Every structure is written in structure tokens, then in C-alpha cells.
Structure 1
């Protein structure tokens, strides 16, 4: 005789101890199946942006356990030496992840060293599952420029907080489109906002609104580089960020201005959050 419990066929032999009052006891008792650990993708991507920019080996808060899962999996694929399994997603781990992405046939933004959902799922097969997934979404047009759905949603909420419409001067996925941008707009998540007609106080308030929803944002002046006044913003944890934009995000977390001179941050002070963290509040 066979008994079907929750769609699983079980042999009746030896099931006496599993039947209590004619009902089945917990199906997993004594089976010994170990649940896979869950990798926090939000924390992992955050560490991959911040850790390479650190002057020390401090760990990104909340990311160690997940980064260790990634590093151990890279070691198993012989892409990372065991000595680098430390929970620190520094330049060596980033380089190993790039190799892994390329081994999957990825190129361009898909091999930028930031762990994307598809590559993480494949890396974790039999090792871990992926939670708190971050995805940039499809590419869309906004003010005549290309951005992704995540960036558009973030900008919309920043407009609500600022109480005004924001107009773009430059969008994302624009490789080589503006040499003064130093590659930051080559990938996703990066925009330049027009400040035409804005007072100094308004420019600051708009930058604050952008920061509140998860952008690393700064008011840029002609004194800082070969560009007009504008607000430059990079969406934290956008997995399509170019390497240059990743560096800007990392510097923002470390209290810097996102420029090559790496001077102190000159923008409005707000608690740093990702878009996903903001939405959970």
C-alpha cells in the first residue's frame, strides 16, 4: 500500500511512527534535508560598490554572511583564492566576479563585477538561494533620454518629495556621449538633472530629495569641471552601473564628493539608503 501526503507518494512500510490519530506528522521529520542559506542581494551589491573604495578592510555592515557565500562559491569554481574568503567584497573579489560573469558568456554591463540576479542564482545553485533581489528593470525613455524602470520610479518619488518636476539633461546607457562624464553615464542608474531657473537653495533641496530616495547625488558647478551647473545622481545598487559610477556610489557612502579628487562630500546630509530600503520605511 502507498499513501499520498501533500502530493508526495510515500511507501507505507515503517510509517506507523509518522501517523498520529490517522493524520501525517511533519513530512520533514528525520529526513535530514538541510535548507540552503539565503543570500541578501541588496547587501551584497552594496558591498561590491563600497568595499573596493575603502582605504582599509572594514566590512560593509550587514553584508559579511552574504559576501562569504559568494566568495566560497567563486573559490569552488577556481576563480578566487581561498585566502580572499573574508566577507570583504574588495577589488580582488570584484575581479573574480567579472571572470565568473564572463565565463557565463556575459559582456559589457552584464560583466561589470556587480552581482546581478541571474548570475547570482547560477552561482548559488546547490549552495544558496537569493533573497532581497534588486533588478534595474526594462529600459524606457524619459525626457528623450534612456533610463531604466527603477531609475524612473526613483526620480518620480524624488519629484514628489521636492514638490516640482525635474528635467533631465542626460540619461543612462550613453557610452561616450559626454566625455566630461568620465564614463559614469555609460551604464544604468545615472542621470543629470537640469537646474535651469533654480536658486541655490532649490538646487540643494532637489539634491536632498534625490538622496532621500536612494541616489548618490551632488550639485555640480562649473568650478569643479568642464560642465555647466547641474545635479549629478547615481542610483545606489543599480546592478547596471558602470565601474566609474560604482566608484562614485562607494565614495558617497564613505563621505566623499564622487569626483576624481575624492574630497569631502559637499552635498546635503541625509541618512544614506537604497531605493529598496526607502520603500520599506
Structure 2
């Protein structure tokens, strides 16, 4: 049924936040554990890190406040975040502080974007005394029959959208494409996929993609210099580029994810992550 069956599993790569080769056992974050400080819900922290920087206010993502505050306290204890920003809101100051922490571990590029990954958050918890629950992993990279690449989490989401919509989807651009000027950086990292709209009900396809946890839109020819297609970013994918992360923030704000900042023109569904979708189905 599917047109995207994987032809080869590439070498699994670390999701953003996993330990890079340059990190060593002498990193401060690998020191013995401090007194236990409870737990941090990674799902909530990542959702806040994707949404909060693009809000017009400092409101807190429902259920995320306690976990984000513990992360912020840990960053403040390392001298990377001013105490006044320890407020449960993962805003731009917290993003910058977390990026600084990632760089202190030896990360660079997209792995030091300020979006928490499983490895870096676990190390922070080890030094601050908290456990990390509801961990997010994006899995290894998979090369599709088309030659495009998606990580395992994105592929699972994509295939589930096919299943619930009953539509055979065709990838026209995958993830990890490097600097592609035509994509404004949104496909540089993971979680991004463009899909053909030829011969399908685009509205139905976008709805299914949103239902499983994508920020997705039908891009029409009058919106930009491109052929009509569906553009989708996997919410809470810890490999996403900053440009893709901004589009997720726009999606949460009810925007279309384009530079115009126009209202969202897609189907209205409950905004969920892949993990939330799986628990409810």
C-alpha cells in the first residue's frame, strides 16, 4: 500500500541531545548525583521549549511548569541562567541558557540549539538530582525508496497518518537535507517532510497528519514559489532545526507557519504530540 517502504536502515544516529564524541567523563554533568529532586517530564519540557519562545506572553504550557522550573533551577545553579528567569516558562532566555549548557557538553550545530534532547537532559538531571520521565527518542535515520530520509519517529507518524486517512502519501522532500535555500532551513534537521498533493484529498491528509502530532499545512502555489504540497513538522522531534521549531510555535499560536504570519488555514484538530496520540489510541 505505502509508496515509502524503507529500503535500508541507515546507521542510527543520536537524537539532538545524545552524547557527542567530544563529551568526556570529566564533564561536570557526569559527576555523582545530587540529592534527589523529584522528576522532570521530558515530553512537557520539550513541548514548552517549542511553544514558549514564540508566545506573546510568559504563560506556562499546561502541566509543564514544575518540570521546566526544575530544569531552569539546574541551569541557574550552573550560572547559565539568571534567577529571574526561573519561572516555569521556557522562553528565549531559557533556550539560550540550555544551548550554552549543550555547548558545555561538547555539542555544536543543531545539537546545541537549546532544544533539550534525551541525553543532555538526562545528564542535567544526574547533576541536579532529578530523574527524567517520559523520555522522547527519535530513533535512527531511515532511507526511503525515494532516497529521502526520515528518522524512525517521523516515519512511524507518517505511516499512522496514512493508516487513519486511508490515503497513500508520497514524500517529495524528507529531513536532514542540509542547507536547502528553498526550504528556509526547515528541512535541515529531523521531523520535516513534504508530501505530494497530486490525486489526493489534501484537506483529509493534513487533518490526519495533525491528528498524529504533526504541525501540517497545505501549501498552495499562490503562497510562494513552489509547487502545491503538504508541509509537515513533527511536534516535539528533538532533532528539528530552529526554523522548523518556529513553525511548530506558529502552529500552537494558530498561525500558518509562513513569514506572512497569517492565520492557520488548516483543519481544526486537537493539537497533540505523537506520544500523546499513541496513549489515547
TM range (shorter): 0.7 to 0.9
Distance in 2 of aligned mates of 1:240 and 1:108: 11
Question: How many angstroms does 1:113 deviate by?
Answer: 1.0
The equivalences for 1:242-257 within 5 A come to 242-257=241-256
Distance in 1 of aligned mates of 2:210 and 2:112: 27
Name 1:144's counterpart in structure 2: 147
Distance in 2 of aligned mates of 1:171 and 1:34: 44
Distance in 1 of aligned mates of 2:152 and 2:277: 16
| Residues 48, 89 of structure 2: 8 Å contact kept | yes
Name 2:196's counterpart in structure 1: 194
The equivalences for 1:79-98 within 5 A come to 79-98=80-99
Question: How many angstroms does 1:51 deviate by?
Answer: 0.5
RMSD (Å) for aligned C-alpha atoms: 1.2
Name 1:267's counterpart in structure 2: 266
Distance in 1 of aligned mates of 2:261 and 2:131: 37
Name 2:19's counterpart in structure 1: none
Specify the SS of the correspondent of 2:277: helix
Once superposed, which parts of structure 1, at least 4 consecutive aligned residues long, lie more than 6 Å away? none
| Aligned: 1:167 with 2:170 | yes
Distance in 1 of aligned mates of 2:36 and 2:81: 25
Q: Give the unaligned 5+ runs of structure 1.
A: 1-32
| Aligned: 1:182 with 2:184 | yes
| Residues 85, 94 of structure 2: 8 Å contact kept | yes
Specify the SS of the correspondent of 2:222: coil
Name the larger-Rg structure. Answer: 1
Question: How many angstroms does 1:35 deviate by?
Answer: 4.9
Number of residues paired by the alignment?
A: 245
Q: What TM-score, normalized to structure 1?
A: 0.85
1:214-255 Cα deviation digits (max 9, x unpaired): 000000011111111000000000000100110100110111
Name 1:213's counterpart in structure 2: 212
Distance in 1 of aligned mates of 2:107 and 2:35: 32
Q: What TM-score, normalized to structure 2?
A: 0.85
| Aligned: 1:119 with 2:120 | yes
Name 2:231's counterpart in structure 1: 232
